[in-house]
Every structure is written in C-alpha cells, then in structure tokens.
C-alpha cells in the first residue's frame, strides 16, 4: 500500500486482487480473534481495520487525516446498507466511535459476542457440533444465540442489569463449567413438566 498507483494496477488483476483480499481478510480475523465463518464486514469492523479499497483511496490522498475521515464515512455508509454483518452493525452502529475508542481491546470471547459466531448452542448446532440449539440455562425451547445470551438469559442477569455480582459466579453460586449445577436445574425443569 506504500505506492497506491502500483497497488491500483495490481488490484485490477483479478487473481492478484483475490490473493490480497484473502490475506487482508485473514489479518482481520486474526486481529479480532474471530472464527473463519465471520463475514469480512463484521471482522473488519470488530478489528477496526479499514476495508482495503478504502485504504487504497486513503493512501492516494496527500492529506491523511481528511482521507481517513472520508474512508470511515464511506465505510459507515457501506455498513449501513450492507446485508452481511447485521448483528455486528446492531452492536457497533458507529464505526468512528468504535475505531477511535481509547480503551478495550477485542479478544476471543468478546468477538464471539460481537459477531454472533461462537460457542452458542444455535451456532454449534448449525455446524453439527451440538444436537440442540436450546439454552441449557433457560430451557423450554428458548434458542441460545448471541442475542439471547447478551440481552435475555438469566445466566447473566447481574451483568445485564449492571447490578454486578461476583465475577465468575452464576446467580446460583456455582462456578462456570460445573455442569452438575446446570444439569440439576435442567432435571428439575423436566420433572416439573
């Protein structure tokens, strides 16, 4: 990207363009710690990496700050009207604020929530890694996806309401990963039915 005129000619060759985009996508997935199933759009937003075509235009401009603002504006418009990465767009509607935030790095678990691609039973079932998409905490046919986990699931009630609680403990006092707590609640619900 050091020489945009050369880059422009290289990007005009379809096979070169695919190769460069492939590497750029991989970079976004690595920076955001995302699964490979996350869309390019969502991975770039979460990683805060300007899309390649916007970056090329930006680098051709001699006034870098103004060019960056224009790139982000065009990127925002593309995200607003795009069909991919809608969940990520719902959570990160303002790219400028996200990119310029002064705190908070992305990491594996945050990326799962921001992309909707992760260890949610609905996602795991979609790829044959689980036999049900039902929330093991809430049960009763409630689908466990990112929306449910963030906004609805009782497992994270204190985090959702901001009441705090003890980090790493469920509201029943069990430690995450202690399946017997979850299984006993599930068995109790089954017996009630």
Collapsed DSSP state (helix, strand, coil) of residue 162? coil
Q: What is the spatial distance between Cα 137 and Cα 37, in angstroms, rounded to a whole number?
A: 26
Mean pLDDT by 10 residues, the chain (193 residues): 55 78 89 90 90 75 78 92 93 93 88 92 92 89 91 78 48 36 40 42
pLDDT at 130: 92
Is pTM, for the whole model, over 0.75?
A: no
List phi, psi (to 5°) of 167.
-60, 130
């Amino acid at each position: 990207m050091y020489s945009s005129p050369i880059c422009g000619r290289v990007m005009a060759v379809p096979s070169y363009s695919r190769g460069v985009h492939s590497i750029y996508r991989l970079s976004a997935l690595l920076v955001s710690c995302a699964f490979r199933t996350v869309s390019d759009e969502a991975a770039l937003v979460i990683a805060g990496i300007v899309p390649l075509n916007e970056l090329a235009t930006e680098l051709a401009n001699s006034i870098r700050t103004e060019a960056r603002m224009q790139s982000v504006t065009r990127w925002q418009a593309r995200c607003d009207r795009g069909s991919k990465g809608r969940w990520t767009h719902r959570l990160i509607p303002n790219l400028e604020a996200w990119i310029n935030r002064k705190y908070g790095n992305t990491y594996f678990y945050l990326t799962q929530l921001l992309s909707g691609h992760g260890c949610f039973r609905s996602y795991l079932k979609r790829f044959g890694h689980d036999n049900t998409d039902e929330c093991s905490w809430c049960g009763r046919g409630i689908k466990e996806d990112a929306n449910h986990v963030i906004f609805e699931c009782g497992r994270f009630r204190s985090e959702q309401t901001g009441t705090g609680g003890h980090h790493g403990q469920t509201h029943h006092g069990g430690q995450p990963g202690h399946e017997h707590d979850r299984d006993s609640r599930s068995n109790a619900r089954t017996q009630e039915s």
